[in-house]
C-alpha cells in the first residue's frame, strides 16, 4: 500500500493517499488504540485522524465516552424485572387454575353420564 505521495519535500505538506486515509481511519475505528496512539503508530500529524474522519462522514469532534448506568437505574430495572417475574408467575398460576377447573367440570360431566346421578346442584334449590 502506498503510504503517501509527496508533492513537497516538507513533512507538513505531504499528501496522503485516500487508501491510506481510509486504512488509518478504519484501524482507529475498529481497534483498541486511542487517536494519539494511532497517530504515533503511523507517524502522522496530530488531529489528522479527526480531520479525515469528518471528511469521510464520521463525526468525531468529541470522543465518545460510554456512560455507566447509575445505581438508581439498576435498582429500578431490578424492581421492574421482579414485578414482571411476579406478574408472569401469577399469570401462570391463573392459567393452571383455569385448567384445573375445566378438568373438574369434565370429570363431573363424565361421572354424571356413567353413573346416571346428579352431582351438580341446581342454583335455585333450598
pLDDT at residue 69 is higher than 70: no
**Hunting for cell 496512539 — which residue is that?**
37
Measure the CA–CA gap between 29 and 35, rounded to whole angstroms.
9
Q: How far apart are CA 105 and CA 100, in angstroms?
A: 9
Alpha helices in 13-70 (DSSP H): 18-30, 35-42, 48-56
Q: Which of 57-71, 75-89, 91-105 has the lowest mean pLDDT?
A: 57-71
Of the candidates 75, 18, 100, the one whose C-alpha atom is nearest the C-alpha of residue 52 is 18
Q: Is the pLDDT of residue 100 over 70?
A: yes
DSSP conformational letter for 69: P
Domain ranges of the chain: 4-56
Residue 47 to residues 33, 58, 121: CA-CA distances in angstroms?
A: 15, 14, 89
Amino acid at each position: 500500500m502506498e503510504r503517501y505521495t509527496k508533492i513537497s519535500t516538507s513533512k507538513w505538506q505531504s499528501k496522503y493517499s485516500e487508501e491510506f486515509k481510509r486504512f488509518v481511519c478504519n484501524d482507529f475505528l475498529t481497534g483498541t488504540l486511542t487517536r494519539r496512539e494511532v497517530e504515533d503508530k503511523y507517524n502522522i500529524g496530530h488531529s489528522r485522524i479527526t480531520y479525515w474522519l469528518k471528511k469521510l462522514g464520521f463525526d468525531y469532534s468529541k470522543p465518545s465516552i460510554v456512560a455507566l448506568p447509575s445505581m438508581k437505574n439498576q435498582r429500578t430495572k431490578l424492581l421492574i424485572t421482579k414485578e414482571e417475574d411476579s406478574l408472569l408467575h401469577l399469570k401462570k398460576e391463573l392459567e393452571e387454575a383455569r385448567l384445573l377447573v375445566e378438568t373438574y367440570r369434565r370429570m363431573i360431566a363424565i361421572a354424571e353420564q356413567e353413573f346416571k346421578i346428579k352431582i351438580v346442584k341446581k342454583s335455585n334449590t333450598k
